[in-house]
Amino acid sequence: MKLNLLSRIGTTTAVAAFALSGAAFAQQEPATTIAITHAKIFTLAGAPIDDGVLVIKDGKIAAVGTNVDVPAGAQVIDGKGLQVYPGLFDPVTQIGLSEISAVSATVDTTETGTINPDAVAADAILPSSEHISVTRAAGITEVLAVPASGGFDSRGSANLLGGQASAIHLAGWTINDMLIRKSVAMVIDWPTIDTESFDFTTFSRKQKPFSEAKQDYDKQVNELSDWLDNARHYAVAWGHGGPAEYQRDVKLEALVPVIRGELPVLVFASRVREIREAVEFCDKQKIKMILAGGAESYKVKDLLRSKNIPVILQPTLTEPLDEDDPYDRSLTTAAELADAHVKFAFGSFDNSFARRLGQQAANAVAHGLAYDEALKAVTIYPAQIFGLSDQLGTLENGKIANIIVTNGDPLELTTDVRYLFIKGQLTSTNNKHQELYQKYLNRPKAK
C-alpha cells in the first residue's frame, strides 16, 4: 500500500517521505501544511484559477489563489498539468452499512418493523469497509450513509421511518475520525399504492385489489402522521418536567428534532402521486423535506421549486419507469430540474456503483445539463442540501480540505485521481481492487 502510494507521488521527495511515515491515514497526527502549486483550481465558488496555489493547514483550506505564498516548511505538490476540485459528495449510499449485498450477515442497512427513527447509521458504520477505499479512488471524499435506502440490501423491507442518515468522510481509523455529522436527515420511505408486491421471505408475489391497496396506503400515511403528532406532544411534555411526568420513548425522542424543524426528512418517492402527497404532508406537518429518488420529479418541478424542496436524484443511468416514456427519460430529468431552478444533487443510491457518480453526472450533461451545474450537483449542492456547505463543497478558506487533484475532468470515464485529501491529509487511493490487480498482473505465466 505504501509502496503504491510512493510510486504515485514519487516525484516529490518531501511528500514521499510523508507517505513513508505512515501518516497517510492518521487523522490525529500533528498538523501539517501542504501546498498544491501550478495547478488549475476549480474552486466552484468563482471562476477557475489558472496556475494557482492551494494551501492546506490544520486540515482546512488556508489559502487559494494565484498570489499565494507557499508557507515555509510546507510540503509541496507540483500540480503542473493537473486540476484541483472539491472532493465529490455522494448523498445516498449504504457505505459502511453493507459489504456484500446478498450476504445478510454483512448487511446492516434496514431494521425490522416499520418505525425506526432511533436507528442511526453512524452506529453501525464499518470504518475498514472495502467500499470506502474503492469509492474514494473515484474521487468521492464524503458520503451520506443512509439507512433503509438499499433496495436489495433491505430485502424489500419497507421502513416508514427508516432511521437517521449520517454524513461521513471516506477515511478514518474510527467512526469518530470519519464523522462529519451524526444525524443529517430522517429517512422516510413514502408508501405506495401497490396492488402487486413481492414477498422476499417466501419469494412469491402477492396481489390485492386497488381498494385494499389504497386502504393500506392511507393507513401507513396516517401512522406516519400519528408518530409526528405524538412526537409533538412528547416534545411539550419533555420540555415541561422531569422523567416522572412522562414515559421515556426513544423513538419519539428521535423525532423531536424533525418536528422542531431542526432535522430534515429525506423522503424516498418516485411517482408523481406519491411525491405530491409527501410534499403536502410535510407542508402540513411543517417539517423540512428533501426528496430522494424522484423519478417523476420533473412532473412537479414547479411545486418543488415553490416549496423549496431539493431533490437527490436517482441515478441517471436508470431505465425509464414506463414503457411509453421517451428512451432518455431518466437522463433529461436533471436538466429539467435545473431549468426550473429546483436544487438537486446526484446520488448513487448504492455502494458498488457509488464510483459511477461522476459518470451519472456526465450523462446528464450529455442530455442538456450545463456542465458547471453537474459539477456542483456532486459537490456543493449536496453539501447545501444537507446543511454542510459551511464546511464542504467548494475550495474556500476555512473549509475542510476534502480535495482531489486529477489529470482531467473528474466526471469523465478515463480521468485519474492523482492525489486525494480528506481533512487535509493526503490519503491513499489504493484499494482491494488495485491490490488484486497488482497481484495477478504479476502472476507468473501458467505452465
Partner 1 sequence: MNKRLALILTAVVAAIFATATSSKLCAAQPNATPAPEAAPIILIQNATILTVSHGTIEHGSILIKNGKIAEVGESVNAPKDAQVIDANGQFVMPGIIDCHSHIAIDGDVNEGSISVSSIANTADVLNPEDIDIYRDLAGGVTTANILHGSANPIGGQTIVIKLRWGQPASKLPFEGALPGIKFALGENPKHSNFGGRGREARYPATRMGVEETIRAAFSEARDYKAKWDDYNKRNAAGEKNLIPPRRDLRLDPLVEVLEGKRYVHSHCYREDEILMLLRVAKEFGFKVRTLQHVLEGYKVADELAAAGVGASTFSDWWSYKEEAWNAIPYNAALMTRRGVVVSINSDDAEEATHLNQEAAKSIKFGGLSHDEALKLVTINPAIQLGIDKRVGSIDTGKDADLVIYNHDPLSAYAVVQKTLIDGRVLFDRQEDLADRPNLEKEKKALIDKEKKELKDEKKSDAKPGEKKPDEKAKPQSEDAVAGGAL
Q: How far is the CB of 327 from partner 1 (least distance, A)?
A: 5
Q: For residues 312 and 184, is the Cβ–Cβ distance under 8 A?
A: no
Q: Is 136 in the site for partner 1 (CB under 8 A)?
A: no
Q: For residues 49 and 67, is the Cβ–Cβ distance under 8 A?
A: no
H helix runs in 357-421, sequence order: 357-366, 371-376, 380-385
How would you classify the pairing of strands 417-422 and 83-86?
Answer: unpaired
Q: How far is the CB of 414 from partner 1 (least distance, A)?
A: 5
Q: How far is the CB of 129 from partner 1 (least distance, A)?
A: 10
Q: For residues 269 and 278, is the Cβ–Cβ distance under 8 A?
A: yes
Return the residue of 131, 136, 288, 399 that touches partner 1, per CB under 8 A: 131
Return the residue of 69, 262, 322, 390 that touches partner 1, per CB under 8 A: 322
Return the residue of 215, 262, 366, 397 that touches partner 1, per CB under 8 A: 366
Q: Is 207 in the site for partner 1 (CB under 8 A)?
A: yes
Q: Is 321 in the site for partner 1 (CB under 8 A)?
A: yes
H helix runs in 139-201, sequence order: 175-178
Q: Is 350 in the site for partner 1 (CB under 8 A)?
A: yes
- Which is nearest to 86 in space by CA: 430, 388, 434? 388
- Which is nearest to 25 in space by CA: 2, 4, 3? 2
Residue 318 vs 391, nearer CB to partner 1: 318
Could you tell me how far CA 315 lies from the centroid of its own chain? Answer: 12
Question: How far apart are the C-alpha atoms of 378 and 358, rounded to whole Å?
Answer: 8
Q: How far is the CB of 106 from partner 1 (least distance, A)?
A: 9
- Which is nearest to 205 in space by CA: 162, 160, 156? 156
Q: Is 204 in the site for partner 1 (CB under 8 A)?
A: yes
Question: How far apart are the C-alpha atoms of 248 and 227, rounded to whole Å?
Answer: 15
Of 82-90, 169-177, 200-208, 384-392, the window that binds partner 1 (rule: CB under 8 A) is: 200-208
The site string for partner 1 over 216-255 (x = CB under 8 A, - otherwise) reads ----------------------------------------
* Alpha-carbon separation of residue 107 from 19, 91, 102 (angstroms): 33, 19, 8
Question: Which residues, 6+ apart, have CB-to-CB distance to 340 below 8 Å?
Answer: 301, 302, 304, 305
Question: How far apart are the C-alpha atoms of 402 and 404, rounded to whole Å?
Answer: 7
Return the residue of 54, 119, 186, 362 that touches partner 1, per CB under 8 A: 362
Q: Dig out the grid coordinates for 351 from the structure.
A: 455502494
Residue 32 vs 360, nearer CB to partner 1: 360
Q: How far is the CB of 412 from partner 1 (least distance, A)?
A: 6
Q: Is 25 in the site for partner 1 (CB under 8 A)?
A: no
Q: Is 112 in the site for partner 1 (CB under 8 A)?
A: no
Q: Is 214 in the site for partner 1 (CB under 8 A)?
A: no
Q: For residues 290 and 312, is the Cβ–Cβ distance under 8 A?
A: yes
Q: For residues 4 and 441, is the Cβ–Cβ distance under 8 A?
A: no
Of 63-71, 165-173, 203-211, 387-395, the window that binds partner 1 (rule: CB under 8 A) is: 203-211
Return the residue of 47, 103, 244, 250 that touches partner 1, per CB under 8 A: 103
Of 41-49, 207-215, 259-267, 377-385, the window that binds partner 1 (rule: CB under 8 A) is: 207-215
Q: Is 323 in the site for partner 1 (CB under 8 A)?
A: yes
Q: Is 80 in the site for partner 1 (CB under 8 A)?
A: no
Can you give the binding site for partner 1, defined by CB under 8 A?
99-103, 130-131, 134, 151-152, 192, 194-198, 201-205, 207-210, 271, 315, 317-324, 326-328, 349-353, 355-356, 358-359, 362-363, 365-367, 411-416, 432-433, 436-437, 440-441, 443, 445-446
